[in-house]
Structure 1
Amino acid sequence: MQPSTPPSSPFLAGSAAAPVRFWIGVDGGGTHTRARLFDAGAHALGEGQAGPSALGQGLEQAWEHIQQAVQAAAQAAGLGTIKPADCALGLGLSGANNPALAAAFVAGNPGFARVALEGDAVTGVLGAHGGRPGALLIAGTGSIALAHGAGGSRRQAGGWGWLNGDEGSGAWLGKAALRHAQRALDGRDATGTLARAVWALLGPSAEDLLAWQAQAGQARFASLAPLVFEHADSDAKAQQLLSAAVQQLEDMVHAVDPAGELPLVLSGSVAQRLAPRFSAPLRERLVAAQGDAMDGALRLLQTAFN
């Protein structure tokens, strides 16, 4: 568990003196990027979406997909193409809790008048609870839990990345499903419907599985996670993996809020699908989100530059 800390300072680029026409909140993860375009009065004008912008998947890719999502939001608002120099950009991106990656990303700003960057968990919890105390559990392609306490203190668990962390996430489940299919192929695990489904998708031989694995990254592993859910009723291993994911995610929530006092919001496709499996005490704390990570990114941006 990472210790409770005061509010962190976002990574910034640009100047508060730079005039802007549009304010944009961006939520970027390992599967997709969403952008919401606001006017100066914080009225939403349009939304757009593009591919992943998790920093661990590449900084050039992240900026490319962010710009695509911004322009898609502008198109949805009927504005045509907008110039980065006219925009203030608030970003909550997966991987931004890595200071080196975050600094390098902000240094590559392609011309936005103002940029404020934090991790997606930070903008997520700000949006989910309207800036008030609360906790957020994100489990989608990756996973992380964050508690936002009184005075803005924060406590984080998870978010260590898909290679050796992100327990309970889509990528984690996908890696476990492939590992099970490999073990079943050589007789170490019983062959059930989950292993057969992985073989049907990737190929039935060791060569097929090794070739797929050699080209796999975070998003590709996460694409196997739906198989675990689909076969949970017919396959004991799939059921076991979902139970393990629930335990990992509950451990994260307990680490950031040991007393279990804060309202909790779930975010991400895996968290939503696992919700009925969580323990009763955790489910009793669940509340509906007041806003999303794009709203939180706008709040981050306004606070940073106002």
Structure 2
Amino acid sequence: MNTDFLFLGVDGGGSGTRVVLADSQGRCLSQAESGPSGLGLGIEPAWQAIKAGCTEAFAAVGGMPEWPRCVLGCGLAGANNPEWLAQFRQHAPNLAGLVVESDAYTTLLGAHGGAPGVIVALGTGSIAAAGQVGMCRIVGGYGFPSGDEASGAWLGLRAIAHAQQALDGRVPNDAFARALLAQTGAHDRDSLIVWLCSASQTAYARLAPTVIAHRSHPHAGWLLHEAGVEIARMIAALDSALEQPALPVALCGGLATALHEFVPSPYRERLREPLGDSVRGALQLAQHEAVRLARTENQPRSQQR
């Protein structure tokens, strides 16, 4: 392997980007965070956020990005869209290597250390996956607003209906409705409509903590129960597709802890703490890519064609 490589693992979604910088031996040098880099939010903003995170990671060790030395492993929301992925690659800086997979795959790698397992990633969006190194079966992850069940955006989109109805007098203007409105900055029908017209999946996902904080409220509690049901359905779908049913399951992402208790039995009994996170899985991608590059360099030219 080229001992001059620097490895960058990138985990990018609708709420933010996390970066880990490692040396040629795979030793972690620094970590950083930046803005959202899910591809659904735009290719140029995605690269801006990734470059900002990488620059911060290098700055933490007193340097600047040396792109020709860097091998990037990226786990990105939206990478399963071929058009977005192609555009993302076209806008890449001059890198030593780049490998891009869905954040579901990198989450799977990180959570089970490359061993067989199941993950349900619950953040701004959601997706479930099962498999191991070199193999990944995905369920869900169709995106906002039609998919991403049990995600932050899914919860927020459904929760805001309660605030709308409260403003109209169709349901009581209770503490839950007022908390949702406070989060949006709206105070009446017109100002809420303005917020709704510009709200992104990230904006809806920011309402999820309010839902969780009001879990004793009938509507919030029902939403959280339905989120648990959706998680179980994703796991069940992966079970039926695999030859290895009842694999260990890791809930991952910002909503994992909060939604754990709402996963129905017997799926809840299969839940395990993840060994690592998506950014660590992305770092594994970068390291595997470096090995592949080294093998290619060592092949005779006739075999590289």
Higher mean displacement: 163-172 or 191-200: 191-200
Aligned partner of 1:282 in structure 2 is 267
Matching residue within 123, 138, 151 for 2:106 = 123
CA distance in 2, matches of 1:282, 1:46: 36
Matched, 1:215 2:174: no
**Contact 1:30/1:57, CA 8 A, preserved across alignment:** yes
CA distance in 1, matches of 2:81, 2:134: 20
CA distance in 2, matches of 1:298, 1:219: 25
CA distance in 2, matches of 1:257, 1:20: 42
CA distance in 2, matches of 1:198, 1:94: 26
Structure 2's unaligned 5+ residue stretches are 293-305
Structure 1's unaligned 5+ residue stretches are 1-15
Aligned partner of 2:58 in structure 1 is 74
Aligned partner of 2:137 in structure 1 is 155
Secondary structure of the residue aligned to 1:261 is: coil
**Contact 1:20/1:113, CA 8 A, preserved across alignment:** no
Deviation of the 1:129 alpha carbon:
1.0
Secondary structure of the residue aligned to 2:162 is: helix
Aligned partner of 2:5 in structure 1 is 21
Aligned partner of 2:229 in structure 1 is 247
Secondary structure of the residue aligned to 2:266 is: helix
Deviation of the 1:260 alpha carbon:
4.7
Matched, 1:304 2:289: yes
CA distance in 1, matches of 2:137, 2:173: 41
**Contact 1:125/1:146, CA 8 A, preserved across alignment:** yes
**Contact 2:11/2:76, CA 8 A, preserved across alignment:** yes
Aligned partner of 1:292 in structure 2 is 277
CA distance in 1, matches of 2:172, 2:127: 32
* TM-score, with length taken from structure 1: 0.88
Matching residue within 229, 242, 251 for 1:266 = 251
Matches within 5 A, 1:29-108: 29-76=13-60, 78-108=61-91
Deviation of the 1:142 alpha carbon:
0.5
Matches within 5 A, 1:230-245: 230-233=213-216, 235-245=217-227
The letter for the 1-side match of 2:16 is H
Identity %: 41
Matches within 5 A, 1:161-240: 161-201=143-183, 202-233=185-216, 235-240=217-222
The letter for the 2-side match of 1:263 is P
CA distance in 2, matches of 1:176, 1:68: 33
**Contact 1:159/1:166, CA 8 A, preserved across alignment:** yes
CA distance in 1, matches of 2:4, 2:159: 47
Secondary structure of the residue aligned to 1:91 is: strand
Deviation of the 1:288 alpha carbon:
2.2
* Count, aligned residues: 287
Alpha-carbon displacement from aligned partner over 1:66-95 (angstroms, at most 9, x marks no partner):
11111111122x232122122110000011
Deviation of the 1:203 alpha carbon:
2.1
Secondary structure of the residue aligned to 2:128 is: strand
Deviation of the 1:63 alpha carbon:
0.5
